[in-house]
Structure 1
Amino acid sequence: MKVSKAQVQANRAHIVQTASVLFRERGYDGVGIADLMAAAGFTHGGFYKHFASKAELLAEAATCGFAQGAARADEMDGLGFVKYYLSREHRDARGDGCTMAALSADAGRQPEQIKAAFASGLESMLATLASKAGEADSAESELRAQRIVVIAQVVGALMLSRACPDDSTLADEILEACCADVLTRLYSRTKPSSVS
C-alpha cells in the first residue's frame, strides 16, 4: 500500500519529535537508530527513507527542540521565563527541557551541521531574551554581550544542577543563586529576596 506524501511528511515529523525528546533525555550517543525508530513506532529499515544520515536527524531534532523552547518562552513574561528556566521542574524534565542545556556538550563533538543548528538556536534564544527584556533585537554589542552572558549563565546553571545528585542541596542552590543573580541584573529594580 502506497503512503501519501502528506503521511510521509507526518511520519518524518513524528520521528523528528520523538528524536528531539530522546536525544535530550539520553544524549546523542545514548540513542541508536533502531531504538529511536522503535520508539517512534516504525521499523529500523525505514530510517533511511526519511533521512540521509543520523547527522541530518540530529540537526532537525535540535531545531525542533529549539522551536518548542521558543514557543514555551513566548507564553511567559521575562520574569516567569527566567524563574521557569532555573526551576527544579525544568531541571527534572530533560526530554521536554531546553535543548541547549541538554545537548551543548554533545553538540560540540558533532559535525558542522549540528553546530550550525545550535548556533541558530542560540541566536533565537538571544532574540527571545531581548524581547523579554523589552529591548529591540539589535546587534548593539553591549546589549548583545549582556544577553550572551545571561544565556551562558542560565544554561550553565541548569547543566551544573543536573550534574549533581537529584536530591542534592547543591543542585537547588545553583538554580536559586543563579536565578536571583540573573533577575537582579535583568530587572535592576527587583531585589533578589523578592524574586525567589
Structure 2
Amino acid sequence: MNIKVHPMGDYGTNCYIVTIDDKDFIIDPGVGATAWIKQNVENPVAVLNTHGHFDHIWSNQEVKELFNIKLYVPKDDEFMLTLNPYNLGMPPSYADILVNSDEELEIAGVKVKFHHFPGHTPGCSVIEINKTLFSGDFIFSGTIGRFDFPMSNEKDMKKSLQKILKWEDNYHIYPGHGSKTTLNNEIQTIKQWEKYIKA
C-alpha cells in the first residue's frame, strides 16, 4: 500500500491518495485538491469522506465527476454536503453511497471499513484500509477533534473515546490535519480527554 498526502486550503486539511492493488482511493478532497489529485492518480476508484466538514469535502463533486467514480459518505453527515457554512461558497456534492455505522464495504475488491466515532460531527468516521486508519478529525497526533462546534456532541465524543480505548491492536493513524501517529502513541492523550469530558 502506498499513501500520498497533501495539506489543502487555509486549514491544512490532509487529502490522501491511498493506492492498494493499483487502485487509488481518494480520501477527503478539500479546498483546491483536484489539481494535485489529477497529478497523482493512475486508477482512481472512489472518493471517501471521513466526515462532512467543508474543508474535507470541498472538491468532492469536482473529483467524482472528473473521474466518473462514486462518493462514499457516512450517512449521518450527508446533510452537510449541501450546506454552505459561513457563506464560503462551498460547492455542493452528492453522495452515491451512504455508509452505515461501522459498515465494512468491498470497493473494487478492496475491503474498506468506516468505524463510526461521532462527536466531532454526527457521522464522524475513521476509515480503515489494510489495517491503517484515516482518522479525519477524530484523533490527531497529540490531541482529539473539537466537540464544541454547532453540530458536535460532547456526550458522543466521550462515548467514542471509550469505544476506541477498548481496541487492543496498534494501528498507524493518518489524521485529517497534521502528522501521522499510531494508536499506541495516542492512548494516554485519549484517556486524559475521556476523563476531562464530564458529559
TM-score (normalizing by structure 1)? 0.28
Bigger helix share: 1
| Structure with greater contact order relative to length (CA < 8 Å, sep ≥ 6) | 1
